[in-house]
Amino acid sequence: MSKPSITVEVSVNQPISRVWECWTNPTHIVNWNFAADTWCCPSAENDLQPGGRFSWRMEAKDGSMGFDYCGTYESIDQYERIDKVLDDDRKVTITFEEQGDATHVTETFDIEDVNSADLQRNGWQSILENFRLECERA
């Protein structure tokens, strides 16, 4: 039986190669992987290959709390799709679709049972908005 999931999405005014680079390169990940301005991503490790691990640190800027967003990649289709499993066994799928000069990013994730679905949706959508801003810089 599959777990309930939530989908969030964003359109980025950049070519798919730039969007892919910002999603997968730790130099960029640390600039967008947080849901609020009071948080940050001080470090990111990313072994982008099937069976490879990722670990992206998320922390409150005041040091009051933090956690590691970690898991294992199941499959990678460059410029198209990433499938991964978080360490708590939730599945996440990210798809990238060229739309003219823009790229549409869709992220679907299994919900967890600690926070409300609305809180999770809003948080993941905020992270995607930060991602869009990082891609569209410069």
- Reported as a single tens digit per residue, the pLDDT across 77-129 is 999 999 999 999 999 999 999 999 999 999 999 999 888 889 999 999 999 99
Provide the pLDDT confidence category of residue 3 given band limits of 50, 70 and 90: confident
| 64 Cβ contact list (under 8 Å, min separation 6) | none
Exposure of 23 in the CB half-sphere (CA atoms within 13 A): 28
Note the pLDDT tens digit of each residue in 13-72.
Answer: 999 999 999 999 999 999 999 999 999 999 999 999 999 999 999 999 999 999 999 999
What kind of architecture, by CATH, is found in domain 5-136?
2-Layer Sandwich (3.30)
Helices vs. strands in the chain: H and E counts, helices first: 3, 7
In the chain, domain spans:
5-136
For 137, other C-beta atoms within 10 Å of its C-beta total 11
**From edge to edge, which strands make up the β-sheet containing 91-99?**
5-12, 102-110, 91-99, 81-86, 66-77, 53-60, 39-46
Q: What is the pLDDT of residue 1?
A: 52
Opening angle at CA 66, ends 62 and 67, nearest 5 = 165
* Location of structure tokens 């990313």: 46
